[in-house]
Amino acid sequence: MGESREPWDLLPLTPAALHILLSLADEERHGYGIMREVEERTGSKMRLGPGTLYGSVKRMLGDGLIEESEERPDPELDDQRRRYYRLTDFGRRVAGAEAGRLEDLVSIAYEKKLLRESGAHGLPEGT
């Protein structure tokens, strides 16, 4: 589905979509697992509600960024009714393209002295 398009056709991603892609970059997860991973990774700065999560999942499945995993975990370890999601190759390329786009933006912010090379939050002194 996504193979006929280029990754940058889908940029910029919404913050929720990018966080979901990042969450699935290292392993497949179910919805609640994605929520917890995003919350922990961002220090609770980003909390996905069920509506935001599954609305994004629906669109990302439609765009071919993620797919439902057919493998189910050991029933003793987890609820068999849960649906697990994983990144597609196209989704991985889109996540990479979005990260590159953000990297470019951050470079411009450094050039324009909006960010420092190091320090808390990278903000310049006096802000």
Using CB under 8 A as the criterion, which residues of the chain lie in contact with other proteins when the complex forms?
Answer: 31-32, 35, 47, 49-55, 57-58, 79, 81-83
Token pair listed for 95: 């996540």
Rounded to a whole number of angstroms, the minimum distance from the CB of residue 87 to other proteins is 18
Cβ closest to other proteins, residue 10 vs residue 93: 10
DSSP state of 54: H
Residue 7: phi and psi, rounded to 5, are -55, -40
Cβ closest to other proteins, residue 80 vs residue 118: 80
Amino acid (one-letter) located at 35: M
Residues 6+ apart with CB under 8 A from 19: 38, 41, 42, 46, 48
Radius of gyration of the chain (CA): 17
Cβ closest to other proteins, residue 48 vs residue 87: 48
Rounded to a whole number of angstroms, the minimum distance from the CB of residue 93 to other proteins is 25
Rounded to a whole number of angstroms, the minimum distance from the CB of residue 49 to other proteins is 3
